[in-house]
Amino acid sequence: MRIGVLALQGAFAKHEAALSSLGEATLQVRTPAQLAEVDALVMPGGESTTMSRLLVTSELFEPLHERIAEGMPVFGTCAGMILLATDVLDGRPDQRSFAAIDIAVRRNGYGRQIDSFETDIAVDGLDEPFHAVFIRAPRVESVGVDVEVLAEHEGVPVLARHGVVFVASFHPELTGDARLHAAFLQSIRR
Ligand code: GLN
């Protein structure tokens, strides 16, 4: 199984490092041909409006939309979560998303005064808390009935899953702790 990391923009290198630390072969995905080589995809944090634009100009948007609809596992973090959400609040009008998981997210929804913060969160399936880094993070405002919430911060979902679509509003790749990458891989291999 080959894990791709969407590498148009943003924090993709640290995701590759996390996956490599688990012994995974990774491939940077910037073109439709590279997308065709991978079995699963991590969509990093960065800037969702820029990523949306680059997905269109690189002609990746449509093939990626198709692969996700066909059931390719994806793990979207921060901006990647925004790209996978059904509803994007405070997005740019021309910003596109894949509507792969039934959540409404508000861009930069944690407000300016705390637009970056770190905290330990309890995650379903992990014995010890996970140190979560939020950087101008999207805030989940609602989740559909089929969405499984795996972690919350102050009552707000911050890690969720629908089938093989996983989303986190924080950056799990920044702390040298690959347990969430491992959990993603384990659940898609079942
Ligand atoms: N605020 C960014 C956006 O709207 C996301 C920030 C991040 O990915 N760290 O895309």
pLDDT one digit per residue (tens) for the chain, 190 residues? 899 999 999 999 999 999 999 999 999 999 999 999 999 999 999 999 999 999 999 999 999 999 999 999 999 999 999 999 999 999 999 999 999 999 999 999 998 767 899 999 999 999 999 999 999 999 999 999 999 999 999 999 999 999 999 999 999 999 999 999 999 999 998 6
pTM surpassing 0.75? yes
- Which domains occur in the chain, in start order? 2-188 (3.40.50.880)
Q: Which residues of 55-84 are buried (b: 16+ CB within 10 A; e: fewer)?
A: beebebbeebbebbeeebbbbbbbbbbbbb
Segment holding 166, helix H or strand E: strand 165-168
Is the CB of 9 inside a 6 Å radius of any atom of ligand 1? Answer: no
What would the DSSP string read from start to end of 46-81? S-HHHHHHHHHHTT-HHHHHHHHHTT--EEEETHHH
Is the CB of 73 inside a 6 Å radius of any atom of ligand 1? Answer: no
Active-site choice (15, 78, 153, 181):
78
Residue 59 falls in the annotated catalytic set: no
CA-48 nearest atom, ligand 1 = 10
CA-47 nearest atom, ligand 1 = 10
Is the CB of 81 inside a 6 Å radius of any atom of ligand 1? Answer: no
